[in-house]
Amino acid sequence: MPGRRTWFASDSDSSGSAADSDSDASSAAGEESEGNRSSSAVAPAIVRPEDCHTVVVLPLPHQPLFPGFYMPISVKDPKLLQALVENQKRSFPYAGAFLVKNEEHTDSNIVTASDSKKSIHGLKGKELLEHLHQVGTLAKIASIQGDQVFLLGHSRLLITEMVEEDPLTVKVEHLKEKPYDKDDIVIKATSFEVLSTLKDVLKINPLWKDHAQIYTQHMGDFNYPRLADFGAAISVANKLLCQEVLEELDVSKRLMLSLELVKRELEITKLQRSIAKAIEEKITGEQRRYLLNEQLKAIKKELGLETDDKTALSEKFRKRIESRKEKCPSGVLQVIEEELTKLQLLEASSSEFSVTTNYLDWLTVLPWGDYSDENFDVHHAQRILDEDHYGLADVKERILEFIAVGKLRGSSQGKIICLSGPPGVGKTSIGRSIARALNRKFYRFSVGGLSDTAEIKGHRRTYVGAMPGKMVQCLKSIGTSNPLVLIDEIDKLGRGYSGDPASALLELLDPEQNANFLDHYLDVPIDLSKVLFVCTANVIEMIPDPLLDRMEIISIAGYITDEKMHIARGYLEKNTREACGIMPEQVEFMDSALLALIENYCREAGVRNLQKQIEKIYRKIALQLVRRGVSNEPTQEITLVEASEQHTGVDIATEVENKSLRDALAEDVSVHVTQTDLSCENINVVSLTTKSEVDHNINEGMEKVMEALVDSATEKVVVDASNLDKFIGKPVFQPERLFDQTPVGVVMGLAWNAMGGSTLYIETVKVEDGKGKVALVVTGQLGDVMKESAQIAHTVCTSILHEKEPNNPFFMKSKLHLHVPAGATPKDGPSAGCTMVTSMLSLAIGKPVKKDLAMTGEVTLTGRILPIGGVKEKTIAARRSGIKTIIFPSANRRDFDELAPNVKEGLEVHFVDKYSEIYDLAFRSDSGTRAS
């Protein structure tokens, strides 16, 4: 126990040397006190401890004192300490040592020394007596040093009554062991077990060995009571169990209790030894491994087999840069040499060493001056682009121009191309096709939602976990300095607390700056002028103007129905069928089904949703085929085995489920099928005369097998417009054209959105008639721009009606309600003005507009028509709704002329500058206005 020290003494010591020392000390103390005290009376000396019947009580907080053992105790009570000193001076050096009881609801294993002292400090008289065990030990006061009193246990005591309260003095009765039979086999067996356990403990704990030697020297040979006391005294187990040993007068029971304590001590000692051994093995193993590794390094270095870590790293970095030393810029070579010199001066265990190592690793792994060979064959590029994509003539033309310039110059210069368009039109796949056509390495990274500029420009090297930017990582992974880098979703760049990534891209995408692009991590200029950047965006209005200024915009408006049909038939349907494992002869996908699918389910500008729907159809077809028992698993290969020159064995491994077919096959190729081989997985062909006959028979047999399999298959699945809803459900879209002939006050307009183009109706009705009721109510979840357009249109209508029909007071006394259907869809934009004017005028003059007419354009207060955007998308939407006549602003004539012929086919398009021209076109079918 911490703070407890124990000595051993024999009865002879207590009467001999110890008594002599005590008498000397007491005589010296008596001589010292003669000058201070007038009384010289000294009590007669008591020689025998058995005559002590009244003793001063010493509370023991931790362990009981056993006969024959020393124990130091700290006495804080001044009166008690003074009484002990006086008793020692009067040659009565005895006191009673009694163990303190535990507090109620406390555990002796948990209570601490400070808690014990607090619990007995300040207790006096009867209160203190109640907190003490009744059985204790007569202790001889060996010496007193300050407040430290050294006690020597002598015999057991029992408190009978209290004599004095302060200091607590009690009458005691000396206890003797009960008589016992020394030849009792139970006592002998128990003592032998105690001795055996003590020996086991002595082997493990050398401290106990010293205790046993000192005890036997002072106490003589062990007898049964002494053996029990020894086992309990040197145990550090629960103090209450030790108190039970002290109180037990039956020697047999005392031995059993002592055995329990010694067993516990043995387990504690074993556990202590195992913990110490585990810790020691761990420390020793690490030290041994370290020493062996150091010795191995020294041996390898001495033999020249291996250099140290720093030398090996330097050699690795030098070897990397050696092959491209001539192409590497001089500034980069200088930085590499400086860092290699710095590396030799650093300790391998320092943090700067790892930072320098990583920096050199990035510097030497980049492809300085390494360029891949480009293919400047325009015809090759044209063929690849046509294979991968249908239509997109403007995109393909721009790529061919890039290749032609590179061929004439002999080298290509990097450009920044931005492909803008709705989702699903193939922007990302176009970038991959361009890389294949140019024979360039392809690298894609998406910047959608990117808010940390370090992803573009890299981190500072001083940061923990610093990394270069995406462009440097691209060069490392690609291995060339002229890849095609696709920056996807550039219009969705984020902006957070870590900076503005859009501004960080300026240096990367600026042709005047990216020849010396500076990454924060590398801190050396990198030439990116040969990199071809292709960016993709859905809406270019979301791209910051400084960044947009550095790009070349190529707009991909989307696909019309004819283009979607061609893409679905030539690409999507074929690839999806092969991906689902369906044979062409097992399904027939009618053109009517594709047309219905495009018109009623997939009206968006792209073809991604169209591909999803085709995949859904083929999955259901695959399920039908499997439920009918069809299996398209590939047949196993045919293996020819030549046994000898006269005999040739042929194994045809295939699965034929039909027995009659299997017999026919065996007969056709002259084979013999055993009756036990029911699966027909191995068919052994009998000897044939020549190899040509073998090949002929094999080919003929396999053809008949395939024909039989096809004939035995289920009937062909036909997908047409009538059963399309069984595969993908009811149509999602209804016809956008609600009226064959639009009624009075209703006009069709053309709109643009991020998914492509669409048509919408603008309706106007008269709510109330009467003088002073002039007002305009606008509904349909319109934005601020369209609300202003409605007010402008109302004013323009008043002016035009007054000009055309001066006697018509419609707008002077009518309250109108203008509505744009699909109110749940937000609508805004400056292209519905002329449509609103036409709708109001139609209501005012009571005449519907021309049949199959749609228009778009913004009108001013003076009746001028302003240009609009999204000409291709709006034209496609008009064709989809069956519109024959379209009205565009004159400023959009150039945009319409650039459209593909198949988009413009069958359309009557009029270009107008003033609204009066629209009036003539909309309400006078015999107008002579020239069409485009």
The residues annotated with a catalytic role in the active site are 831, 874
Identify the DSSP state of 465.
Answer: T
| 190: nearest Cα among 201, 179, 198 | 198
862 among the known binding-site residues? no
How far apart, in whole angstroms, are the C-alpha atoms of residue 688 and residue 682? 18
Exposed/middle/buried for residue 407 (C-beta within 10 Å: 0-12, 13-18, 19+): middle
- Per DSSP, the residues of 253-316 read HHHHHHHHHHHHHHHHHHHHHHHHHHHHHHHHHHHHHHHHHHHHHHHHHHHTS---HHHHHHHH
How far apart, in whole angstroms, are the C-alpha atoms of residue 666 and residue 683? 8
427 among the known binding-site residues? yes
425 among the known binding-site residues? yes
For residue 759, give Cα distances in angstroms to 162, 732, 787, 820, 866: 113, 16, 19, 11, 19
Beta-ladder partners of 856? none
Neighbours of 16 (CB within 10 A): 11
How far apart, in whole angstroms, are the C-alpha atoms of residue 698 and residue 765? 80
Tokens describing residue 377: 């064959």
How far apart, in whole angstroms, are the C-alpha atoms of residue 55 and residue 66? 17
Phi, psi of 544 (to 5 degrees): -60, 145
Neighbours of 507 (CB within 10 A): 17
Neighbours of 588 (CB within 10 A): 12
Beta-ladder partners of 747? 762
Tokens describing residue 594: 């594709």
421 among the known binding-site residues? yes
Q: Which residue has 């169209």 as its token pair?
A: 610
**Identity at 88, one-letter amino acid code:** Q
* Coil vs helix vs strand at 684: strand
Q: Which residue has 């995949």 as its token pair?
A: 615
How far apart, in whole angstroms, are the C-alpha atoms of residue 571 and residue 568? 6
423 among the known binding-site residues? yes
**Largest alpha-carbon pair distance within the chain?**
155
How far apart, in whole angstroms, are the C-alpha atoms of residue 137 and residue 158? 8
- Per DSSP, the residues of 843-878 read HHHT-PPPTTEEE--EE-TTSBEEP-S-HHHHHHHH
Identify the DSSP state of 491.
Answer: G
Q: How many helices (H) and strands (E) does the chain have?
A: 33, 28
Phi, psi of 155 (to 5 degrees): -155, 170
How far apart, in whole angstroms, are the C-alpha atoms of residue 148 and residue 909? 118
Can you say whether the dihedral through the CA atoms of 885, 891, 892, 896 is positive or negative? positive
How far apart, in whole angstroms, are the C-alpha atoms of residue 70 and residue 266? 23
Contacting residues for 724 by C-beta, under 8 A, at least 6 apart: 593, 596, 597, 617
Write out the binding residues: 421-428
Write out the binding residues for ATP: 421-428
